[in-house]
Chains A and B, each alone.
Chain A
């Protein structure tokens, strides 16, 4: 694990076209040494899950700013589980109200949720930390 680059799929599920954040994060992760694949816009849940499987990624990052997160995130989680990708680290970023954030985490739909004001460093640190822990355990 230590020598292999972490592979990340960053995805824009749903119809939302706000891609400023996802592109900045994609670039930040790449600059931090990860292998980054970006799906582009307007992906269905199905398409995201299929790409994650095909690209054999370690992390899936979903960017949603349209308010559809409570529908899309659980669906993608479910599809990932169905294809045997339960161990993928599932991260969400965007305009996610605190109550929704807590619910997504409590129900295990997402491993972590990042919201406005979080830095690139916080996101990259979280990913590196997660893989360090899984390697150590």
Chain B
């Protein structure tokens, strides 16, 4: 746009501002869920420096602002992937087969707390927690039951597992082999993102250095043997759920991503050998436009840094592919049916932001693991968006909006500011050690809660329009028998398996853990002879030690 036209627009804008100045203003502040003040109007003045080719480009081309595939949803819709798991492997296997029958296109495993923390179901620490928040997996036997009658060459699986990711991944691979599926064919994702465990999700086991080594061992093993596997899902989801703002989610997630890239390079891997298999996982919170801009900014920042700072040349190393889950923390226990609407707008922002796969929360997830009815509605939400709403017809349809482009730029700049602060502290690990990232998140969470308690931030059905009516909704209950049955089965397995072989595999693993060998082949071997997760973790703890957090609030 030429200078003269811009000047004219500026004059008109001033006239408009004058007119608006004296008009009535609604009492609810124009602020996002992240506390960002939103301008009333954007104009070409806000996007005058936007360079289409340099800043946006075409879908499937650098800097990927408009999407990572050239045909996006015109070619293939996003993968509808509902995160699920409860009780024992039999219970969850039934749910997975139900979801696949309902048209779900990928699986996503939720493990129970003991599995996430590296304890077997029979550990004292597991008491009362077996099968509660997800499915209980102790050994390869459980993994075999979990995927019974599910062909692992046709379905891709995402597993939310971090501290013990290498172990559960090996169980999945060993099970695929038993199904007769070659490792070259299996596809899926492990979360494997330990950095955000230290700052947000808090399911850690080992200290940072050995944890990062396990991660780079996975990168190297997958590059050779399991080429279709996404070796990490660098996650902002939990950072956001822990209370961060949208920009903090964006910045801390990408900073973690760059830390993994540096770890890979420092372990001697060429960046283009592992970076194409890095994937991301973001939250879709309730502020519609801020979320869309977050995804667009994320793709652009990733592409630029990977190219300019880390010298990646393979285009796949520059493409940020990501999964999205709608925001659990935006859901309310009051009038849970309203959560269907919240989830719908959040899912829509993820789709307009160009996500590769999506989980929509069920309306009852604030209260319990979802019932079958609730999870079906959640899946149908995605199907209605995909097949009825028409939003998948045009690629990045909001591009060029003065508001969207201005906010995308602004969020990119704010994330860059966080990168500078983290660099000043010496990088991500020192920033975690000094509690910087944790404190930023805790501060944001506290500010948000105060705003809700004061009524400045409206939550429908909670601090406004609260009728106090009791809720009527069927919840999923976990039978306490699950824990008992799981313990019995584990006991039988321990009696049945070859104890000498198990002990030998654990001994070899320990020896290698103390060296710099790649540990994946050794874990795979231990898993194959039915060593349990807890046994493998405790062998590694002997060598690596455990992480301890300095509690702050």
Instruction: Give A residues with C-beta under 8 Å from B.
Output: 14-20, 22-24, 26-28, 30, 36, 38-42, 44, 66-68, 70-72, 95, 97, 115-117, 119-121
Contacts and interface: CB of A to CB of B under 8 A. Distances in A.
Contact of A40 (B119, B241, B551): B551
A123 to B, nearest CB: 10
B128 A20 contact: no
Given A22-B553, A95-B367, 15 more contacts: A14-B128, A15-B119, A15-B203, A17-B201, A17-B203, A20-B445, A24-B243, A24-B445, A26-B553, A38-B551, A38-B552, A40-B549, A68-B113, A71-B127, A117-B332
Contacts, number: 98
B478 interface: yes
Nearest to B131: A67
Interface string B441-455: 010011001101100
B132 A67 contact: yes
B366 interface: yes
A22 B367 CA distance: 17
B242 interface: yes
Interface in B176-226: 197, 201-203
Contacts of B445: 20, 23-24
Interface in B318-366: 329, 332-334, 366
9 contacts: A15-B126, A16-B133, A23-B445, A26-B553, A40-B550, A44-B125, A71-B128, A97-B367, A115-B333
Contacts of A97: 367-368, 475
A27 B446 CA distance: 8
Contact of B462 (A23, A38, A71, A117): A117
Contacts of B550: 40
- Chain B at the A interface: mostly helix, strand, loop or mixed? loop
B333 A120 contact: no
Contacts of A115: 333
B442 A67 contact: no
Given A15-B114, A41-B551, A66-B133, A95 B203 contact: no
B116 interface: yes
For the side of the interface on B, what is the size category?
35 or more
Contacts of B415: none
Nearest to A23: B553
A41 B478 CA distance: 24
Nearest to A71: B128
Contacts of A36: 553
B133 A67 contact: yes
Contacts of B366: 95, 116
B507 interface: no
Interface centre among B114, B126, B442, B478 (most CB of A within 10 A): B442
